[in-house]
């Protein structure tokens, strides 16, 4: 290919080649190329730009502050949501999430399903979510449809999710270290593609890393707390001190966060982990493999490109008719 030809190629061609290179050791994974094309499509659709534009905030705020797409249900109201009640009874809710996760999938990872859907629903209906909007979204059984059908969630015949499902989620692990690495690298590739963090500092960018790629041995990879159900929670954050004052050492601090929804890229990472876990349990396995990660990404893409408000209305109508 000549230089002239390369200059005429779309910018996304180079993004795709860069991502393919970063994931070259996983080119054997079935449907990976389809997922990469879907990530590029999401960049073209500008969902995340539309979200921050609609909220009238700059994109920096989407990784540094909670995204407020409407009011919040109270903790008591949330506990009336059948799956949230079952999930809270069967999944661990670590105090210093995600640094001290006892299990691979914890209650916050599951709870991000609803926070992710809130953002999508907010854009679909075109206004800030009121209490009635949240009640429709949380009680229509779309959660069960997504968990049981994943990227076929438009099929309204979702299976009933019981406590046994969450017990299986609790005991999941990665099939091997390579699968864990694949998930983390695909998350980073998605963030590189969809979010342009070149305008942000290293500390800003560190807030977008994946839950399974975090730890006290990697303090610069800051991850937000996402405390569920409006609990007061804390997150341990490590910030490199090299801003012209001290050029060495790590500063650790305990920071309180009162919101369950703090950092949208990281919310997506945790939500994708939960979807991959659902895929494994649905396949009657106790480990997450590469195909589960692909299934999670296909579900994520479809949720972002589907008007879920129509599905919510259909599910509510079906629920009303069955009474």
- Per residue in 139-184, pLDDT tens? 999 999 999 999 999 888 767 899 999 999 999 999 999 999 999 9
Other C-beta atoms closer than 10 Å to the C-beta of 181 total 15
What's the pLDDT at 322?
63
What's the pLDDT at 3?
34
Q: How far apart are CA 63 and CA 47, in angstroms?
A: 15
Q: How far apart are CA 152 and CA 164, in angstroms?
A: 22
Flag residues of the chain having pLDDT under 50: 1-8, 199-261
What's the pLDDT at 192?
79
Q: How far apart are CA 224 and CA 67, in angstroms?
A: 13
Find out whether 286 and 280 touch, Cβ atoms under 8 Å. yes
Find out whether 225 and 99 touch, Cβ atoms under 8 Å. no
What's the pLDDT at 246?
32
Q: Using DSSP bridges, classify how beta strands 173-174 and 233-240 pair: parallel, antiparallel or unpaired.
A: unpaired
Q: Tokens for 229?
A: 């159900």
Tokens 């695909």 correspond to what residue?
186
Q: Burial letters for 57-69: b for 16+ Cβ neighbours within 10 Å, e otherwise?
A: eebeebbbebbeb
Find out whether 23 and 288 touch, Cβ atoms under 8 Å. no
Q: Burial letters for 132-155: b for 16+ Cβ neighbours within 10 Å, e otherwise?
A: ebbbbbbbbbbbbbbbbbbbebee
What's the pLDDT at 319?
73
In whole angstroms, how far apart are CA 44 and each of 10, 32, 321? 11, 19, 39
Task: Rounding to the nearest 10 degrees, give the CA dihedral for residues 36, 103, 138, 50.
Answer: -30
Q: How far apart are CA 242 and CA 172, in angstroms?
A: 39
Task: Quote the radius of gyration of the chain (alpha carbons, Å).
Answer: 20
Structural domain containing residue 49: 3-321
φ/ψ (deg, to 5) at 209? -80, 165
What's the pLDDT at 1?
34
Residue 261 DSSP SS3: coil
Find out whether 231 and 69 touch, Cβ atoms under 8 Å. no
What's the pLDDT at 214?
43
Find out whether 120 and 308 touch, Cβ atoms under 8 Å. yes
What's the pLDDT at 116?
92
Residue 195 DSSP SS3: coil
Query: Looking at the 3D structure of the chain, how many domains does it have?
Result: 1
What's the pLDDT at 266?
80
Q: How far apart are CA 291 and CA 31, in angstroms?
A: 9
What's the pLDDT at 12?
64
């Amino acid at each position: 290919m000549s230089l002239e030809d390369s200059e005429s190629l779309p910018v996304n061609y180079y993004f795709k080649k860069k991502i393919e290179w970063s994931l070259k050791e996983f080119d054997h994974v079935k449907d990976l190329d389809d997922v990469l094309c879907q990530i590029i499509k999401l960049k073209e659709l500008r969902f995340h730009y539309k979200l921050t534009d609609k909220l009238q905030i700059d994109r920096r705020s989407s990784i540094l502050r909670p995204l407020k797409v409407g009011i919040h249900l109270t903790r008591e109201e949330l506990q009336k949501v059948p799956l949230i009640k079952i999930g809270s009874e069967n999944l661990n809710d670590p105090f210093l999430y995600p640094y001290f996760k006892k299990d691979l999938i914890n209650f916050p990872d599951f709870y991000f399903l609803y926070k992710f859907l809130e953002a999508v629903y907010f854009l679909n209906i075109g206004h800030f979510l009121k209490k009635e909007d949240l009640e429709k979204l949380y009680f229509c059984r779309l959660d069960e449809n997504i968990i049981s059908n994943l990227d076929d969630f438009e099929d309204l015949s979702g299976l009933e999710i019981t406590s046994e499902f969450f017990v299986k989620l609790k005991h999941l692990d990665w099939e091997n270290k390579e699968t864990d690495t694949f998930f983390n690298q695909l998350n980073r590739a998605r963030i590189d593609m969809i979010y342009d963090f070149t305008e942000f500092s290293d500390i800003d960018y560190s807030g977008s890393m994946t839950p399974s790629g975090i730890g006290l041995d990697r303090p610069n990879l800051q991850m937000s707390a996402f405390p569920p159900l409006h609990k007061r929670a804390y997150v341990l954050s490590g910030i490199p001190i090299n801003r012209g004052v001290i050029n060495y050492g790590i500063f650790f601090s305990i920071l309180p966060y009162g919101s369950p929804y703090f950092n949208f890229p990281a919310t997506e990472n945790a939500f994708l982990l939960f979807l991959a876990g659902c895929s494994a349990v649905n396949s009657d396995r106790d480990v997450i493999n590469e195909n589960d990660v692909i299934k999670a990404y296909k579900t994520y893409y479809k949720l972002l490109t589907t008007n879920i408000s129509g599905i919510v209305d259909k599910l509510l109508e079906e629920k009303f008719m069955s009474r």
